[in-house]
Amino acid sequence: MAPTHVLRCCQRGLAWIPVIFIALVVCWSYYAYVVELCIFTIPSIGEQIVYLIFFHLSFVMFVWSYWKTIFTKPANPSKEFCLPKAEKERYEKEERPESQQEILWRAASSLPLYTRTGAGAIRYCDRCQVIKPDRCHHCSACDMCVLKMDHHCPWVNNCVGFSNYKFFILFLAYSLVYCLFIAATVLQYFIKFWTNELTDTPAKFHVLFLFFVAAMFCISILSLFSYHLWLVGKNRSTIEAFRAPVFRTGSDKNGFSLGFRKNIAQVFGDQKKYWLLPVFTSQGDGLTFPTRLVNTDVEQATVTLQSEPSKSAADITVSPLSESQNRLLSNEQHANNIGDHLANDTLKSAESETITISMESES
């Protein structure tokens, strides 16, 4: 039987086949459009120049965003989410899940964690031996925990997550523009070749297949691009769309949603001039995210998490909230305080009415 590392190398090599296939298709489309269509088929020089300018603009942005999506390394949890050496040894020696959870709860007391497992336990990766930050998941293909993991994409041979999710969205957008432009400009010559208005030349094969390939990829990319735009607007990952994150108060698919504009800014950044460029402008560090489902202590401005019933400790406090979290939570508290005042006024008025009625009956 072959050694494990040899099988691993073969697996990594085979994983590049989809990327090589896309690269070959793109190279052929460049040759077919520039040489066979623009140079050998289109008679007008002005039309050739206009087509080539817009084609190369879309081609450069498409290749740039595709390159960034492939070769941007996925972000991993920082060292603060690793168990200390002593706690790690105790965790490995413990056989009871309850005792292991107690160790994890103590280690997570100073970490900004708001999500839990389905059973309400601390999310821990035995493979990477780290406490998972919010929205972090383990990728079996990459064999690592990825911050804000969306999915593992075989067409880029990389995990799509916090570090390259903007690049992935732009890759879908520019590949859609690239295919739409090719299909729209090739259509008239496709019809002429199909109806035999143009003489049969070697360019006929390239033009016909160029239109079919562009139209096919356009349809498939459009559906995927539309779906991910919807996810960005809802501030969800693909994993969270299928399995809602679990908070202290229960699962909620909209737990990280801050409103449409803030959701967009969390992926593309605050400066709109960089939105269409494949440069990293996403907000945050990938370890903590604002959430609208956290209850706060007004006096201490810290988050109080309910401990498990089996735990002996009372409450566990974690690091202070970010500015965006405090702003969201203060609004919620203000609304709750108004509701409490209204309830108290209603009770007082009801009591006064009761006293008045009783006095009238006595008289």
Rounded Cα distance, 277 and 68, in Å: 11
Rounded Cα distance, 69 and 240, in Å: 21
For residue 109, which phi and psi values (nearest 5 degrees)? -65, -30
Residue 138 identity: H
Bridge partner residues of 304 (DSSP)? 317
Residue 31 identity: Y
Q: What is the residue-wise DSSP string for 6-62? A: HHHHHHHHHTTHHHHHHHHHHHHHHHIIIIIIIITT---HHHHHHHHHHHHHHHHHH
Place of tokens 């790690």: 88
Q: Are 144 and 138 in contact (CB under 8 A)?
A: yes
Q: Confirm whether 27 is a catalytic residue.
A: no
User: Which of 38, 142, 145, 153 is labelled catalytic?
Assistant: 153
SS3 175: helix
CA geometry: angle 77, 241, 234, nearest 5 deg:
90
Would you name the residues annotated as active-site residues?
Answer: 153
